[in-house]
Structure 1
């Protein structure tokens, strides 16, 4: 792969493999699209030692190319041994679509598409939705951040009651939780929201509001 930066081409880089495309014996990348400078996706095909042509894509993030992966969903379907990523289009960094084909039984080719998106969805759940003042630890707040195209967002989620921060949760496998501190909130009603700040790959998102009641 190669990049042009400020009108000057950088030194070409070999495409690194991973997983099922790690041991390819020939590679061709013939389509590339950039959501912004330094954030691109390229596609094509490698040929593995068994002579199977696979469909692959490789992403560049902030000027650094990652490892190529076999296009999700094509490995099991490519029983004919010929697949390819023929076109890639990126609307924004992390938001791309790829199109190509795989070969089914009898040598029949089938079109295939795949998405790569930075979009996330954040959800917030309350264990009870109410707690007694001074005994707020009985209430547990749970958050989950998902990507519609797969993958596991990382980073932190901040839970707030209005503009007041209740807790900050570090995600593990896209999930996490916290408990309220004793006497953290005065008796009354509150609307809690969870905000995900995003990470190097995924964009931020916010949950719908949940009602919490603190009683005396």
Structure 2
């Protein structure tokens, strides 16, 4: 089945003032979304893998190329994440299938030379539903300064038989981050930083 893309949407915001104080360095957050026809809409399909294998690499490369260009280069991306929003004639599983595959996400991870996994949301909703893209530092999952969420919407997507597939990125952490990282709390609680579950 051929991948059908109805539109590609780019979103960007730049925070200059946060918490009544100017940012030393403005924070840029951005996303690129592909609005695609849901190949499984309106029916139950047991084996999703054939289409995942076909669509994943196409979407992964397209969106990675676009977001790196929007960022001004892959090296400008410090935090990253992904999301999928499926229309009302689809399942959450359809959104999950398209983004929870290395055939999709590895394009982005390799482009930005990341060590962390891509944080994510997969939701269902009508056109104009809010899209939330959670992000974390691309190399350090415990770096709380880069725990960010980008929110936007597309007024005419997803249609009932569509899926919005999204990559998000940020140029840095929150402008005035001051809650510290996970590691100090782990030490305070007597946990092994390398094995947080151990006491």
Say which structure, 1 or 2, has more relative contact order (CA 8 Å, 6+ apart): 2
TM-score, normalised to structure 2, is: 0.30
Q: Which has the higher strand share?
A: 1
Q: Which one has the bigger helix percentage?
A: 2
Structure having the higher Rg:
1
Q: TM-score, normalised by structure 1?
A: 0.28
